[in-house]
Amino acid sequence: MIIWINGAFGAGKTTTCFELSRRLPNSFVYDPENVGYFIRKNVPKSILKGDFQDHTIWREMNYSMLQTICNDYDGIIIVPMTIVNPKYFDEIITKLRSNGVEVKHFALLASRETLLKRLRSRGDHKNSWPARQIDRCMASLSQELFEQHIQTDNLTTEQIIELIAEACNIELQPDHRSAVKKKIDRWMNQLKHIRI
């Protein structure tokens, strides 16, 4: 099974995915962004696109990687990735489903104000690339194609992962970390995913 966590930048995808993985012992977090960074480092600048998702090879590589992992891994694969283009969604998620992979898709939604506040808390200003994508992401992710929707403005990360686990019919392991340890783990995870 693949659990794909979608959402605008600042929606909490990465935090949700890693916290979900902590509660699912037989799980693996696969980050499609890594393919994008590989493309950026290995393609002549003159043919690079502004968004690595616009490279056909990005979609093909991520589809192939996920299909391969699903063929050989008996655990749950958790994917944190914003994908709002219906064509790109079809080329990865719909294609995986048509080849027999169970993909549970969730779009984490939040108000523009909430998203901007979350982006500021991680160091992005109001004119940053992620902030400029908010309206496009919100408009696209509200479509039926991108269901199941979870409105996150007033939910904790724990509540979000419980909703996802319930929808996927999976049992979460207890989380015995202290509140301080949880904050440190989440902060460290955010630090690891800062792209410069």
- Summarize pLDDT for 127-166 with one digit per residue, the tens: 888 888 898 999 999 999 999 999 999 999 999 999 999 9
Give the pLDDT score at 44: 95
Model's pTM, two decimal places?
A: 0.88
Provide the percentage of residues in the chain whose pLDDT is more than 90: 76
Residue 3 contacts residue 170 (beta carbons within 8 Å): no
Mean pLDDT, range 1-8, rounded to an integer: 96
Q: Does residue 74 carry a pLDDT above 60? A: yes
Give the pLDDT score at 63: 98
Give the pLDDT score at 98: 97
What residue ranges define each of the domains in the chain, with the CATH number in brackets?
2-192 (3.40.50.300)
Containing 104, the helix (H) or strand (E) segment is strand 103-109
Q: Does residue 193 carry a pLDDT above 60? A: no
195 confidence band (pLDDT: 50, 70, 90): low
Give the least confident one: 108-122, 161-175, 182-196.
182-196
Tell me the average pLDDT of the chain.
Answer: 91
What is the torsion angle, in degrees rounded to the nearest 10, for the CA atoms of residue 90, residue 93, residue 96 and residue 98? -50
Q: Does residue 180 carry a pLDDT above 80? A: no
Which structure tokens are listed for 106? Answer: 């969730």
Q: Does residue 185 carry a pLDDT above 90? A: no
Q: What is the DSSP letter of 93?
A: I
